[in-house]
Amino acid sequence: MSFKEHKDIRKGKSLLWKMETKHSIVQGHTIDNLDTKTYEEAESRYEKMFVVIRDVLSDNESSCMDNEYERLNCTQQIADTLRAKGFLSV
């Protein structure tokens, strides 16, 4: 069975998801509180990574992602933080 790919959509504490096959569409939402969860409260590697990236983006909220210099520096901070937290090998 193959699924048509859909982007999940974050709405506050919930993740809206949709799966579509040739014969059906199933959609729903999962409450995970990743809008406010701390790194220590995160329950999985995925959640921890989400929190790290969310926090770096929050620290760079005044950056303009249309500006290549600012976008690359923000990306560098995300990569460096993920490496420092042990998500990436050196």
Domains of the chain, by residue range, sit at 1-31, 38-90
Decide if 18 contacts 48 (C-beta within 8 A).
Answer: no
Closest C-alpha among 53, 51, 54 to residue 40: 51
- The pLDDT, as a whole number, for residue 3 is 67
pLDDT in tens, 2-60: 667 778 999 999 999 998 888 888 899 999 999 999 999 999 999 999 999 999 999 99
Would you state the pLDDT for residue 6? 79
Q: Would you state the pLDDT for residue 63?
A: 93
CA angle 16, 17, 22 (to 5 degrees): 150
The span from the CA of 38 to the CA of 88, in Å, is 20
pLDDT score at 90: 65
* Separation CA 85–CA 39 (nearest Å): 10
Cα dihedral 42, 54, 87, 19 in deg (nearest 10): 80
Element (H, E) at 70: helix 68-84
Give the model's pLDDT for residue 44.
Answer: 96
